[in-house]
Amino acid sequence: MTVHIETLHPVTLYPEAFGVEAPDSAVGRDIWPRQMGVFLRKAEQPSAPDSATSPSPVEGEGAVVDVPAPPLLECLTGQFGLVPRWVKSASDAKLRSPKLVNARCETVTTSNNLREAWLEGQRCIVPMMAFFEDDLRSGKAVATRISRVDGKPMGVAGLWERWAGADGTEIISFTLLTVNANSHALMHRYQQPGAEKRMPAILNEGGYSAWLNAAHPEKAREFLRAYPANWLTANPVQKKK
């Protein structure tokens, strides 16, 4: 299970890599379950836009002026660890969310925790510089940082959710979608020996918009696949003395 991710730094990477402004709220560099992290989702559009917000060209004193189109993506902060909307209380949400930092792509339509978010198209992209896994081959857990070979940010497929309590409390949360990595040339080395190996579903850069805008959930499944091993690098984390 991927429970530790590294956010983008410097923050100028948000517009460079994803075409969005950096989050308004500051987040830590290292994110663990129940901490606030960053996710990107398709921008919510007004239900009934009027002519003042139309993206069509308008005339202005002899010149044609293009009204900017609404942004395609928006950057939000939310809790790392999904809180299903059926959870009854904030205390229950606190207990459940650490178990839902990862979501198996194979069970998105059958899991009570994931089904509503998946079927309602609440897909998101979780930007990160790296994620961390334990290398247990020596018998000791060696934290290992896994990132792109070229050092660029990664966009991981995820789901987001909004939970509202009876007292008005609201929790925005997200989870990472994962795929099987038993035969992955790099990721099969990590996590518990003998257990199924999983890895975050890292998206290809050219597929960000298509992932978020897939008209049908089953079409979105096509984007959930293992990222090529030769595009990733793994480095043991040096402990501070």
Tell me: the pLDDT tens digits for 26-67?
899 999 999 999 999 998 765 544 444 444 454 445 555 555
- Contacts of residue 104, defined as CB under 8 A and 6 or more positions apart, other chains included, come to 111, 177, 178, 198
pLDDT tens digit sequence for 118-129: 999 999 999 999
Beta bridge partners of 157: 125
How much is the pLDDT for 24? 87
Mean residue pLDDT of the chain comes to 90
pLDDT of residue 52: 43
Provide the whole-model pTM.
0.88
Q: Is the pLDDT of residue 199 over 70?
A: yes
Architecture of domain 5-43+70-236: Alpha-Beta Complex (3.90)
Segment 65-93 shows an average pLDDT of 84
Please return the burial class of 203, using the count of CB atoms within 10 Å of its CB with bins 0-12, 13-18 and 19+: buried
